[in-house]
Amino acid sequence: MYKLFFRLFFTRMDPERAHHLAFRWIRLAARVPVLRTFLAAVLAPRYEELRTEAFGLRMHGPFGLAAGFDKNAVAIDGMAMLGFDHVEIGTVTGEPQPGNPGKRLFRLVPDRALINRMGFNNDGSAAVAERLDAREPVFRTVVGVNIGKTKVVPEAEAAADYVKSAERLARHADYLVVNVSSPNTPGLRNLQATESLRPLLTAVREAADRTVTDRRVPLLVKIAPDLADEDVDAVADLAVELGLDGIIATNTTISRERLSSPAHLTGETGGLSGAPLKQRSLEVLRRLYARVGDRITLVGVGGIENAEDAWQRILAGATLVQGYSAFVYEGPFYARALHKGLAARLQASPYATLADAVGADTRKAVQ
């Protein structure tokens, strides 16, 4: 039914407008106690065998919502109602900004992909921190906070901008993510170079530690799929050196290889997400796990459309997996179907738990 609705209705609507409309429906449903309880029972059934622990946090399962959907922390309970085991908000910047001018979001339906050049449009870290402080959770869910650089801040002053956000948001975060991999903020991906990344991550770690004294906020970094293999290795080594808690692999890509959508769409600038990203994201994940093993938690994201995609990421080394673009195409039963299929695959596997399956294929390949 959703796919018919998507084809007849959403595809005739501007993608960003459709996003806001669907987002509004989710938020409204989550505010009605009887309706949200019913929807959660239907869309978010729990599977005991999928229970997951990552960087000291317990979750109903491994599948979460990637950053970019709920930029301003306004629908955390709504997304939990739809079955996401963790919700990563953001990307949030030090200062509020409108993002890039429209039109800035494009559907590539034949490729089951999206291109966006949103440009970190968000309310800013002060407003998001205030919203999180006032939040009264309805559903128990892990909340990650993804932070990035304000566009007008020079690259040389980026660390201070990230620190500002970390100081405001760390106390509200179950985990904190440093995003240095979006292609839509000029100069941002330059921060992935280890000589820039080391002082940045060190500064954010120190800011989180002095802001939150009653616990250690897990710190992760999100990297691009377009990094060369040797740069992936360098980031992995740096993460181990600095004692990071995790790496998210991967963000959107600037590549336009093997697309079948019309040229007027594939030629749009911005980050490509969805099915075409699947293979490269999996390759980066395998490379990271081969390098870091179980010393760092890996999060697989990019082209995860179904349970098989999620299962392959887990076997490659991901403890957690995330989706976003496929949610647009699959609709509200996306998480339910993925959980059901993942539980079936675990039951049919030789592994007693998901934790036993993490990295199994990559370990075999390197032996």
- Was 71 annotated as part of a binding site? yes
Helix axes 125-134, 158-169, angle to 10 degrees: 10
- Was 317 annotated as part of a binding site? no
- Was 251 annotated as part of a binding site? yes
- Was 119 annotated as part of a binding site? yes
Which of these, 271, 280, 285, lies nearest to 325 by C-alpha position?
271
- Was 122 annotated as part of a binding site? no
- Was 243 annotated as part of a binding site? no
Q: Are 316 and 282 a contacting pair, CB within 8 Å?
A: yes
Which of these, 107, 101, 187, lies nearest to 151 by C-alpha position?
187
Cα–Cα distances (Å) from 4 to 14, 314, 326, in that order, read 17, 31, 15
- Was 324 annotated as part of a binding site? yes
- Was 69 annotated as part of a binding site? yes
- Was 239 annotated as part of a binding site? no
- Was 278 annotated as part of a binding site? no
Name the catalytic one among 125, 165, 181, 182. Answer: 182
- Was 118 annotated as part of a binding site? yes
Q: Is 181 a catalytic residue?
A: no
Query: What is residue 303's DSSP assignment?
Result: S
- Which residue bears the tokens 């978010």? 44
Which of these, 348, 251, 335, 360, lies nearest to 78 by C-alpha position?
335
Alpha-helix runs per DSSP H in 215-333: 229-242, 263-266, 278-292, 307-316, 325-330
Whole-number Å distance between alpha carbons of 5 and 18: 12
Q: Are 36 and 77 a contacting pair, CB within 8 Å?
A: yes
Tell how strand 271-274 and strand 113-116 pair up.
Answer: antiparallel
- Was 274 annotated as part of a binding site? yes
Tell how strand 297-301 and strand 57-59 pair up.
Answer: unpaired
- Was 121 annotated as part of a binding site? no
- Was 179 annotated as part of a binding site? yes
Binding positions for FMN are: 67-71, 91, 146, 179, 222, 250, 274, 303, 324-325
Binding positions are: 67-71, 91, 116-120, 146, 179, 184, 222, 250-252, 274, 303, 324-325
Q: What is the set of active-site residues?
A: 182
